[in-house]
Chains A and B, each alone.
Chain A
Amino acid sequence: MFQIRCPYCGPRDEPEFKYGGQAHVAYPADPEALSDEEWARFLFFRDNSKGRYAERWNHAAGCRRWFNVVRDTGTHELVGSYRVGEQPEAAR
């Protein structure tokens, strides 16, 4: 069971959080301009890499904020958390 640091509330147990998948995937600004293929990539394709991975979590049972975490998908090391709008370098 992970212990995740909410950038607002501090470290809490994993069941307080909801996973949100890969971070930094924006809803397309102009969906109508996208081809079916481009739209499918947005809908269904997410990085599935091994190693450091920037992902989203929501502190569902706490402050309800979405934030990002850098985590190693090979070892479960949690490198750090950072807020929406920040870049992975900000993880701490």
Chain B
Amino acid sequence: MRRLPDRGRVDHDQRVAFSWDGRAVEGLRGDTLASALLASGVLVLGSSVLMSRPRGIVGDGVTDPHAFAQVGAGDRTEPLMRMHEVEAHDGLVAESRLHQGILPTGPDPDRFEKRHAHADVVVAGAGPAGLAAALAAAEQGARVILADDHPQLGGSLLGEELLLDDRPAHEWARHVEDALRAHPDVLVLPRTTVVNVGDQGAVALVERVSEHVAPEHRHGRALRRLWQVRTRELVVATGATERSLVFADNDRPGVMLAGGVRGLLHRYGLVPERCVVFTANDSAYRTAIDLVGAGVEVPCVVDVRPDPTGPLAERARALGIAVRAASAVIGTDGDAEGALAGVRVVALDGGAEEVVACDVLAVSGGWDPLMDLHHHVGGRARWDAERLCFVPDGTVPGVHLAGSAAGVFGTEACRRDGHLVGLVAAEATGHGSAADGPDAPAARDAAEAPPADFVVTPGTDPVHAFVDQHRDVTIAGVERALGSGIRHVEHLKRYTLVGTGTEQGRTAKVNAGRMAADRFALPFAEVGVSNARPPAQPVTFGALAGRALGERFDPVRTTSIHPWHVAHGAVFEDVGQWKRPWYFPQAGEDMDAAVLRECRAVREGVGMMDASTLGKIDVKGADAGEFLDRLYTGVMSTLKPGRARYGVMCKADGMVMDDGVVLRLAEDRFLATTTTGGAAGVLDWMEDFLQTEWPDLDVWLTSVTEQWATVAIVGPKAREVMAALAPQLDVRQDAFKFMQLEEAVVAGIEARVARISFSGELAFEISVPMTWGLALWEAVFAAGQPFGITPYGTESMHVLRAEKGYFIVGQETDGTVTPLDLGLDWMVADKEFVGRRSLRRSDMLRDDRKQLVGILPAERLPEGAQLVDDADFEIPVPMIGHVTSSYDSAALGRPFGLALVRRGRDRIGETIYAPLQHGTVAVEIVDPVLFDQEGARRDG
């Protein structure tokens, strides 16, 4: 196409240089990639997906079925960018790839941001309707966000030559924009697409923040920003899109949408040499008129209607444009490259084909209100047989449609509609009254003649006439599908792929549906089109992820002692969001060696562990004991102040949910501890029962998990270390018994000390405010030096507890294990507690349930290994259980483990087998308590 020096909204003095398919190309500031290529004579963009036919630019908007390119270089390369949206700039690199893009191979160097915002009214689209709506709502005092996907506001006003109030319409747009920007509570967002509408006014927008400048000029700015807006009302003023007509070789580069051709002229000053117009409605006459006004030759307007007599047709005739009524384009001819050279026109009542030479054919099949955002929240549409388009069928609460999106087609009518809708939306948010609001501007648009119901030129070659150009679906393809018995457009879509392309078939779907209606002899209103889904325009994964990458993806929780662990070479284990020291390898040690050393230290000397991640819940009130009795399987109310008791909780289905030690701090106060991963869930669970089932109980719950850091000193020498740390504390066995707690000053810090043991060894757990945790830890470490105190991690903790047969929630249990299965009969008290009833269901009473046992395998087994009865078996073989824990024991000098085994407790002493891939291992079933069965060691 040719550039007119004095037309368009581009800066004719500012050239930009970029690369297309490796070639240097120039454009003007204000060009898009599409317009710059057209201006540079690039007509053929590439070839089609299935049939390898040459394809070119079809429109001037994002519904264009071909205008996609691979843009950017290296890790910034982005597939299938909308060429009409990509702003030409120096250094832009683009490549022809219309249908299948290439993903970069490295991480994204650019930044994608998110921003939350709140509004009374969000207006999507800044054409006459959206601008008027935003202004009306803003003047009523509402908080308004106006978003439009173009760099400049004005919508179709920028692609037309129109007057509003006898002024050029784009000047009116500028004036409104200025007025809006002057409002403190209005946010104007150009280059911003409203992509998703959710419930209760959750609206997502994607702003192209720095995409239009070369990477080296972005300076840390986001490439794009996803706005997450909560609005009370949404005004959808997204305009309408033009659809095509179907005839042979309608996919040739040069066959364009009439509105697009007009847009290229007014936005970019681009014109064809000789342009034929083919239409079923009045709007395309504007293209003919405007082109002639720009000095372009328009040999004829081919109009399918028998008698086009509207004011626009009259004006065209007055300009000397031939109007060929009751005629249609039946095919096109191409040049050597395959681009358009001429069109073949026929009279609809018969007669010979006539070839008219042209380089552009401007087609208009009609206009489809763009209602995607209304559809996102379940808004319906109905076919309007007069306007020949879908129009909204009622609205969803909080979502309004305005202007062409609502089926209003006159420019002034759109502005008036927008104004009225803006007032209604503002009123709905308590701002002003629509009835008493400022008067709506008049709508004096010239009347248009009715459009014709026309899709396919009769007699055209079905094999080369395209319904969905992006997916290469032809009339023949649609016919084949319909011939196979398909009776529904959703099946038609899935059989032919109509409407499933990158642009979601926005120019194609209505035509496909109308062809189906024809074929079934059904009213199109019944047949409809395949549905629309979010997003309104595709959104990159990166934009949806935003800044939730790396350490911002998910919190990494650490205790106040963590820096010490890091400094001392700990290897960490993820437990929920927490990082816990897994083991502390010394030089040259692997994990097994480190764990053996740590365990030995605890059994023979003294070890120390950071137990701060355990959940802690302060339970206060006169009924605190009663409350805990109802939740734990055991009895807590009989506990004496200053004493602690171990407890297990079940879900209502009787399965073990969590466990921990409960300490009675005072007559009316308990501290319940939970597993690290279970902390939040247990508190929620407790609050649930307290608030909804037993609101009459005098109990108050407070999470104090992070108030307290806890250091455990464990091993035969723990008492000496404790004594050194807290000289005033009487640590002798008689004074400080197992499951007792004391307030004490430890290393100068006020602390709570409890004798709790998860290893079977003598142990003291010291708790201090979290901010004192590291100080305490360092003091313990220092005080323990004479005794060779050894920090240990979760792995050693697991080995030590397993030697004692203690289970771990989530390791020995998986939501299918009851306290009885774990052998905790002694803890299931004879009183009501949540889940108790479930333990009486027939399946729970079966005598072949899986039970927790100890195992002594011939070699160390992988955790998760399955167990079978016989060494000789054939697959499939019944499994009688599995290994839940498996370690090498320093204390036992051999591998051992825990397992859930069918009828396991009755089978102690028997041998079963673990069939591993390299061979089957014999496993002896033993009592789960393998070390210090008498429990002598816990008192030191």
Contacts and interface: CB of A to CB of B under 8 A. Distances in A.
Interface string A17-51: 01010000011100110101001101100000000
A85 interface: yes
Contacts of B688: 20, 58, 66
Contact of B841 (A36, A56, A66, A75): A36
Contacts of A77: 397
B230 A3 contact: yes
A39 B202 CA distance: 40
A4 to B, nearest CB: 8
Contact of B837 (A2, A31, A64, A78): A31
Nearest to B841: A36
Contact of B687 (A3, A42, A66): A66
A84 B684 contact: no
B695 A84 contact: yes
A65 B840 CA distance: 33
Nearest to A4: B200
Contacts, number: 62
B306 interface: no
Contacts of A20: 688
Nearest to B683: A64
Interface in B836-854: 836-838, 840-842
B836 A1 contact: no
Select the residue from A18, A27, A58 with max chain B CB neighbours within 10 A.
A27
- Chain B interface residue bracket vs A: 20 to 34
B693 interface: yes
B449 interface: no
Contacts of B198: 1
Nearest to B687: A64
A90 interface: no
A84 B687 CA distance: 12
Contacts of A92: none
B841 A1 contact: no
B378 A75 contact: yes
B199 A39 contact: no
B836 A31 contact: yes
Nearest to A2: B199
Contacts of A56: 692
B695 A39 contact: no
Contacts of B199: 1-3, 76, 78
Given A27-B693, A36-B842, A58 B837 contact: no
Interface residues of A, number: 29
A3 B201 contact: yes
Select the residue from B198, B691, B836 with max chain A CB neighbours within 10 A.
B691
Contact of A39 (B200, B684, B838): B838
B452 interface: no
B604 interface: no
Given A26-B693, A66-B688, A39 B230 contact: no
A13 B116 CA distance: 11
A83 to B, nearest CB: 10
Chain B interface, >50% SS class: helix
Contacts of A27: 652, 689, 693, 834
Given A36-B841, A36-B842, A43-B652, A1 B692 contact: no
Nearest to B198: A1
Contacts of B836: 31-32
Contacts of B691: 65-66, 84
Contacts of B695: 84-85
Nearest to B377: A76
B653 interface: yes
Contacts of A40: 841
Contacts of B692: 56, 66, 84
Contacts of A31: 832, 836-837
Contacts of A3: 199-202, 230
Interface in A51-92: 56, 58, 60, 64-66, 75-78, 84-85
A58 B202 contact: no
B378 A32 contact: no
Interface in B640-696: 652-653, 684, 687-689, 691-693, 695
Interface in B371-420: 378, 397
Contacts of B841: 36, 39-40
Contact of B230 (A13, A36, A76): A13
A35 to B, nearest CB: 10
A84 B841 CA distance: 31
A32 B841 CA distance: 11
A2 B199 CA distance: 5
A2 B198 CA distance: 8
A18 to B, nearest CB: 7
A39 B837 contact: yes
B202 A1 contact: yes
B837 to A, nearest CB: 4
Contacts of A84: 691-692, 695
A28 B200 CA distance: 36
Contacts of B200: 1-3, 76, 78
A51 to B, nearest CB: 14
Interface string B194-221: 0000111110000000000000000000
B174 to A, nearest CB: 35
Contacts of A36: 840-842
Contacts of B837: 28, 31-32, 34, 39
Contacts of A65: 691
Nearest to A64: B687
A26 B198 CA distance: 33
A76 B652 CA distance: 29
Interface in B747-801: none
B838 A43 contact: yes
Contacts of B687: 58, 64, 66
Contacts of B652: 27, 42-43
A91 to B, nearest CB: 15
A45 to B, nearest CB: 13
Select the residue from A1, A40, A42, A64 with max chain B CB neighbours within 10 A.
A1
Contacts of A2: 199-200, 202
A39 B836 CA distance: 11
A27 to B, nearest CB: 5
A20 B681 CA distance: 13
Contacts of B202: 1-3, 13
Given A31-B837, A58-B688, 8 more contacts: A3-B200, A3-B201, A3-B230, A31-B832, A32-B837, A36-B842, A39-B841, A76-B200
19 contacts: A1-B200, A3-B199, A3-B230, A18-B684, A20-B688, A27-B689, A28-B837, A31-B836, A34-B837, A36-B840, A36-B842, A40-B841, A58-B688, A65-B691, A66-B688, A76-B200, A78-B199, A78-B200, A85-B695
Which 6 interchain pairs have the tightest Cβ spacing? A31-B837, A3-B200, A1-B202, A76-B199, A66-B691, A84-B692
